[in-house]
Structure 1
């Protein structure tokens, strides 16, 4: 796939995978991108998942047209991008392996019998590598989202090779909205490292970028400011969209009824977005992404085995693991003899920064009653 006159994506689409990283549903598959820059010297940027090594090598050979690569640049050592390095090293024995010191340590961990001692080029932060007319500028991006990660900027074609940053779920041969799958990818995999993403954004803000080439997803070639702005919002834990997400579980339908009443009242009052999510049935990654997207969250569940329902517990764990903060939260609990859910949920979120708790907590004793409807009216007013 041609990106510019000299730059090609020789990556692959994976429609065999059902769960990315063993937990994120990817009904439209994944792309593993690898790039080639053709110049006086040829650079290959990253490899692909082990299941697609032969397809990738064939793609690479087709673009090279009887030439051989001078460099393999390793930006990220996660196996979906590094697993084919061993085969590349054997296929192209003259190619120099370009990476930083942390990457070379990881290479030894993954490939203990690969001899590249005389083929190493160790780069430092802000080092440059000339290919001829193309010059690559290396910027370290530790913990975005592994410690060895670096990105590369090509000053000639104004391309940022961004490693996993600006990536998304989904194969390249599927037409789907970038924002939804990129948000789900970012919040699921990178959100914990917002501070490190902010540091990377500061490093690249002076670069004149026309194209962003991630290791997952399409090359971003229009309205680059839009993608940078979204990453700035996500990584600074700010609200992307005004609205209320209601995340709930319900065993016999009573908590669900309360949620439905609240959602209707919010809509009546003109709340701009009301998103209702049954955590027992929803895609958890999508639910977590929505919690980060909207400014207000209502958690509704039952007391269960002197705790809370497992899906809500899992949901809150996902939020706190990713440094959920700067949001407004309301609580709805249900219990037939010893309601504890509201207290437990609040305690679980006690480490989250800048949380505003609304005054009204709705307690349902088994079934929704008139006083609960009144409480939900007050809650809706506070949220709107």
Structure 2
């Protein structure tokens, strides 16, 4: 067994709540409007929001502890607002900005990422602060026109190129392009005065900021699910970041990171290079009548008896698929156990493998357990699904079950366990 939750030092933002009424699906309920401001440094203020209404982030990821949409204000001779928030929280966000500005007027809105959970309120901001200029790159403004057809941008934009700077006074901002991390227009921003990296979606995690939870697990699930395909691009960004003196990381999701930054950067380096984070074996199974499940559980028992450091058993039909994918990337060895279904593999197994391969699953050792009552094909199909994956090592020993476990199958599981524990 292993524990998913381990502590790391992060900022937990305390919110001041003002009650507001809202209508949801025709019924009235109460939501607490969070007026959140927090000083990150003397001049940088957090003005983001927490979302406890969302059930599925990006329409697919379960977020039991909600989400945070982060935005920041940099106060200087000129004032910059870093990104907006989800469209459902415009009122809260604007209230946070007003509190942070304390009567001043912003000069810039810097748009690092055009995804609607961060950019939905660009037009709302432009209407409230018509004198402010919007800062982005060429791809940013192309997307902006597609999202906001009625937004008049003439004379209100500052287009920046990779490596260019924007001077606010004592704060000089440098823009570093990060294409496909995880959209093509993404850029991050470095403040050389306070040594802060505004990292866009990088170093983000699931979960609202008024809930204390482990960073590693929810950041890993977030990264693998959303950014995992783009490891090479993240590696390029990490190389650029390595040239900067970074003391604080301000992401667009999740807590502001202020301590032990090497830990977070190391995790990102492992994840984006598809390295093995933890030694252990994951057994993912798809079973109909329980015989394939028995094989998976028996293998796990044999591995534990042989002293395998970590053994994770996952029922693909019942566990959150994003967590299953996360674990497959975390550990160095993966055993796939599936029944044959319509001369193919069971649907949950097929979906699982597709999630892995579309995220460039590689540098792993794989083993196969198949089950079939008359014509087993699962092993052949599963092998074929990884034909384009790099650096996959297949176990010499596999298991072929005909309906239910036999004595021969138990010997095959012994041999597989022995090979996995080498």
Shorter-chain TM-score range: over 0.9
Please give the TM-score of this superposition, normalised by the length of structure 1: 0.99
Q: Which residue of the partner structure matches residue 18 of structure 1? A: 55
Unaligned runs of 5+ in 2: 1-37
Q: CA deviation at 1:214?
A: 0.4
C-alpha distance in structure 2 between counterparts of 1:352 and 1:315, whole Å: 14
SS, match of residue 338 in structure 1: coil
Does residue 133 of structure 1 match 2:170? yes
C-alpha distance in structure 1 between counterparts of 2:342 and 2:158, whole Å: 58
Q: Which residue of the partner structure matches residue 35 of structure 1? A: 72
Q: Which residue of the partner structure matches residue 77 of structure 1? A: 114
Q: CA deviation at 1:369?
A: 1.2
C-alpha distance in structure 2 between counterparts of 1:191 and 1:84, whole Å: 27
Unaligned runs of 5+ in 1: none
SS, match of residue 187 in structure 1: helix
Does residue 354 of structure 1 match 2:406? no
The within-5 A match list for 1:223-234 is 223-234=260-271
Q: Which residue of the partner structure matches residue 123 of structure 1? A: 160
SS, match of residue 359 in structure 1: coil
Please give the TM-score of this superposition, normalised by the length of structure 2: 0.90
Does residue 302 of structure 1 match 2:339? yes
Q: CA deviation at 1:262?
A: 0.3
Q: Which residue of the partner structure matches residue 252 of structure 2? A: 215
The within-5 A match list for 1:41-190 is 41-190=78-227
Cα-to-partner distance string for 1:249-297 (whole Å, 9 max, x where unaligned)? 1111111111111001101111111000000000100100100000000
Q: CA deviation at 1:188?
A: 0.2
SS, match of residue 339 in structure 1: coil
C-alpha distance in structure 2 between counterparts of 1:371 and 1:117, whole Å: 75
C-alpha distance in structure 1 between counterparts of 2:97 and 2:400, whole Å: 62
Cα-to-partner distance string for 1:323-377 (whole Å, 9 max, x where unaligned)? 0000000000010000000000000111110000001110111011111111100
Q: CA deviation at 1:4?
A: 1.1
2:303 aligns with one of 259, 266, 272: 266
The within-5 A match list for 1:303-342 is 303-342=340-379
C-alpha distance in structure 2 between counterparts of 1:215 and 1:277, whole Å: 31
Q: CA deviation at 1:201?
A: 0.6
1:248 aligns with one of 260, 277, 285: 285
Q: Which residue of the partner structure matches residue 381 of structure 1? A: 418
How many residue pairs were aligned?
A: 384
Moved over 3 A (4+): none
1:290 aligns with one of 318, 322, 327: 327
C-alpha distance in structure 2 between counterparts of 1:256 and 1:102, whole Å: 49
Cα-to-partner distance string for 1:187-221 (whole Å, 9 max, x where unaligned)? 00001000100010111101111111100000011
SS, match of residue 146 in structure 1: coil
